[in-house]
Structure 1
């Protein structure tokens, strides 16, 4: 009996070691490729940007959305296909994703992976290329991609020095009827991260001081950005998707909530399942006045907090049966939907890697492309 137990323990350790090694290799290879193809991506984008200058802006955006979708499928190849991630959908998700509409995607914020979940949802709705984010201004400093995100229609905002006029200018571009959009906003602004309790305590105190509901699983949502979007895009957006994301393994056996997995952990395969609840709210039900938008948003987050209790409860039986209780629907991507993008970027990378001219062009694109994009963003002062 003792020998059998030792043997089982031995094989368990072997499996853990194998999982760790595979996860590390996936992280290294995936990171190198997703970041490494930036110059190739820039080259394709520059060709399309130049070719589309003589056409209306919506034609440029149509092609750019196709290109963006192609790259994000590469990202999903590593983060969903290779990790064998299971995505479970709840609420209005299945029906809403059939509609092919312009939406305001409002989601809770707890991880650096949250933006990837938007990829996972939008690709199932046939709208991956239409994703645009309200982003922290510091992301401008990403080489090459910092400029590209703005050119794609994303909106940079400064924390603490919010420029209302610049955000309105950016939103006006998205009002074009031929530019479909999934605009992603994380109203909390900062991640709800139990490992940093000071941020959570500060949010709770702010709620008490301002007679707002004290949330157990979210930070107090900021309303100004939501109000501007409601005001500027009220006639363009078809609906709000109230998205609540829950990562498997965040709660321990005692029902205590820990940190959600971050990018490195996720890519290493340490999260096997993501639960996504979507409530579709017609835009006609959303107020336009700033004060009313604030009340509406705080009520929305109060309801999101109540929903979160199903996943973060100390009742282990309820947690273990949450899919059945909330009528979860497992959703899978076809292998080809992401593998095709991986193969495409692998093929176009060959001449850049294997030829002297290709390596030289790669260096020039990386160096001068980064300097040019930083200069352009500095001159435009986009946020």
Structure 2
């Protein structure tokens, strides 16, 4: 083998190893900072909670939303800015970017980072701090954040033991017209993993047993949680944002759809582009009766399924041309919206970790805050 070819091969291998090393460092650093920041964030929240105790609830929520936005910008710094992820928007996306409204966000569910898609959309709409999620109850176990999510306005629900009254109590808090809200629901409940065919087969069988059209790229959507939201917040919510996200690279060379990238893969930069289709549906078009909503929601998912076929087609050329055919337009955040948050949290962290008092306070917040949060959630029995 000629020396030149040997050198080229050597440098290609070296370049691949360096690239993997840098991606691993980014994953490790990002994970440590995002999760390690919890005590400092909780400390900031406690200060605001104390300052705002004598203020109206909506004023507390205003400050809390600002803090939440600050932290989620840090998340996007690692997941979007550092990975140089390209975000392509479709449908009504550029129309909703101009609006400031309360929203029921219905998203397709295929990855552990689908919630970050909501971050990406809401930040571009100027509503990042208003995000609140209907979440599975096991997320209460996340130290500090499990407690914080609930006080921020997120709603925990138990699978198989769904408590309508507890969900309604949480929704009543969000009725306040002075508390803008983007309430995020993933109606499928469970993520669509081609690698877990039993879940998909169960969903398909349920559709056949109930005379519903079988979905090819989604699980059958569950109705109860979505219906409770639309019933109790019908006058508060301006519109439903039907959001469909598609992670590029989910289909292999043979045209077979695999699992979407998960948290580690995203931080490692394995997904270079995300396609986000947004359809805005005014609340006046959404049925109020549960059975009517059930039919309406399944029909919505039939339409989402047809849209998904463009991105999961076995035809490689069809997938490659989808952005042109559907009128997708890239939308970059720029550096400052996320870098600013990273700099703020860095300025907070340095004195905490570099002083004895700071380290002691950090550990106390981590231990006592976690235990206190668990105790509060248990006593309140929030789901």
TM-score scaled by length of structure 1: 0.98
Listed as ranges, the matches of 1:1-383 within 5 Å are 5-383=5-383
Q: CA deviation at 1:21?
A: 0.8
What's the C-alpha RMSD, in Å, of the aligned pairs?
A: 1.0
CA distance in 2: counterparts of 1:5 and 1:180, whole angstroms: 61
Q: CA deviation at 1:4?
A: 5.2
CA distance in 2: counterparts of 1:193 and 1:328, whole angstroms: 25
Q: Secondary structure at the match of 1:219?
A: coil
CA distance in 2: counterparts of 1:264 and 1:159, whole angstroms: 26
Q: CA deviation at 1:118?
A: 0.6
CA distance in 2: counterparts of 1:134 and 1:193, whole angstroms: 20
Q: CA deviation at 1:7?
A: 4.3
Deviation string 1:246-266 (CA, Å, 9 cap, x unpaired) is: 001000122110010000110
Question: Gaps spanning 5+ residues in structure 1: where?
Answer: none
Q: CA deviation at 1:13?
A: 2.3
Deviation string 1:225-263 (CA, Å, 9 cap, x unpaired) is: 011011001110000000000001000122110010000
CA distance in 2: counterparts of 1:210 and 1:12, whole angstroms: 55
Q: Secondary structure at the match of 2:330?
A: strand
**Residues 5-14 or 299-308, more deviating:** 5-14
CA distance in 1: counterparts of 2:15 and 2:162, whole angstroms: 50
Q: Secondary structure at the match of 2:303?
A: helix
Q: CA deviation at 1:14?
A: 2.4
TM-score scaled by length of structure 2: 0.98
Question: Gaps spanning 5+ residues in structure 2: where?
Answer: none
Deviation string 1:137-158 (CA, Å, 9 cap, x unpaired) is: 0000100000000000000000
Deviation string 1:195-240 (CA, Å, 9 cap, x unpaired) is: 1110001100110011011000000000000110110011100000
CA distance in 1: counterparts of 2:244 and 2:6, whole angstroms: 43
Deviation string 1:158-210 (CA, Å, 9 cap, x unpaired) is: 01100000000001111110100000000000000011110001100110011
Number of residue-to-residue matches in the alignment: 383
